[in-house]
């Protein structure tokens, strides 16, 4: 009797761990010589997508093409539990293996609301579940900056200044990630220009590597 073909589903959500999951899924699919899909579930409508989410989606799309994914599925405006949506897609694509990232969930939340893993196992009977932990390096990088906020760059003499107000003087729009533990606006400003993601260093509200904008 011929063994059924393996079919892999990689589930990602906005954050740096998504790239690791896709690479893991792509390499596993190559090793098993089988197809794989990428899925992300977003409770927000597509027209509310901010630049940070757009950056992740663009990167994941490039990785999907690089590793030969069958499809990159995005479920926008999805109000159902993520586990339910994952289970639905898995059944539709006849998935045999699912790859997800480790969930950061407190013990109290697991007791009161139930473990996401347990919910997923209920939706995915007879399917192998791979749980990939977030690396220590990624956790460290995530902890160095506060949550990103929409912000802008305005021209000032030979450089650019960070602004949180949308005015007629705004040249670029992006997301600012402030360093943890500083009273000043020091951190990283991310923006898209010519379909390319640019990271700029901000020190005391001022861009220190504005030359990147001319590359």
Sign of CA dihedral 117, 121, 124, 130: positive
* pLDDT at residue number 143: 54
How much is the pLDDT for 45?
85
Q: Three-state DSSP class for 26?
A: helix
Identify the pLDDT of residue 106. Answer: 45
Count of other CB atoms within 10 angstroms of residue 20: 17
Model confidence pLDDT, tens digit, residues 123-147: 888 899 888 875 544 444 555 777 7
Q: 175 phi and psi, to 5 degrees? A: -125, 130
The H or E element spanning position 18 is helix 17-32
DSSP label of 109: H
Fold annotation for 8-139: Rossmann fold (3.40.50)
What was the pLDDT predicted at 111? 43
- Cβ contact 173:193 at 8 Å: no
Which residues have a Cβ under 8 Å from the Cβ of 164 and sit 6 or more positions away?
149, 150, 151, 152, 176
Q: What angle do CA 144, 207, 177 make, to 5 degrees?
A: 25
Name the H helices within 114-210.
116-123, 136-143
Domain ranges of the chain: 8-139, 145-214
Instruction: Give the predicted TM-score (pTM) of the model.
Output: 0.63
Flag residues of the chain having pLDDT under 50.
1-2, 104-113, 136-140
Structure tokens at 174: 């992006």
Instruction: Please give the Cα distance from 82 to 210 (Å, whole number).
Output: 40
**What's the pLDDT tens digit per position in 79-89?**
888 889 999 99
Cα 185 → chain centroid:
24
- For 125, the token pair is 């009977």
Buried/exposed code over 56-69 (b: 16+ C-beta within 10 A; e: otherwise): bbeebeebbeebeb
State residue 16's pLDDT score.
72
């Amino acid at each position: 009797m011929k063994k059924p073909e393996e079919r892999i589903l990689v589930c990602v959500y906005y954050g740096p761990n998504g790239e690791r999951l896709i690479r893991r899924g792509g390499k596993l699919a190559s090793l098993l010589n089988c197809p794989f899909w990428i899925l992300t579930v977003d409770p927000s409508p597509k027209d509310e997508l901010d630049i940070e989410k757009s950056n992740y989606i663009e990167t994941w799309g490039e990785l999907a093409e690089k590793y030969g994914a069958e499809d990159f599925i995005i479920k926008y405006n999805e109000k159902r539990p993520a586990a339910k949506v994952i289970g639905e897609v898995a059944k539709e694509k006849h998935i045999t293996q699912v790859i997800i990232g480790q969930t950061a969930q407190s013990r109290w939340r697991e007791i009161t609301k139930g473990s996401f893993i347990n919910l997923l196992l209920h939706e995915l009977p007879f399917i192998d579940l791979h749980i990939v932990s977030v690396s220590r390096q990624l956790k460290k990088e995530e902890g160095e900056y506060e949550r990103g906020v929409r912000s802008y760059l305005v021209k000032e003499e030979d450089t650019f200044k960070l602004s949180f107000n949308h005015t007629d003087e705004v040249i670029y729009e992006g997301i600012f990630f402030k360093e943890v533990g500083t009273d000043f606006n020091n951190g990283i400003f991310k923006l898209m220009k010519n379909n390319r993601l640019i990271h700029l260093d901000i020190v005391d509200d001022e861009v220190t590597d504005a030359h990147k904008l001319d590359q």
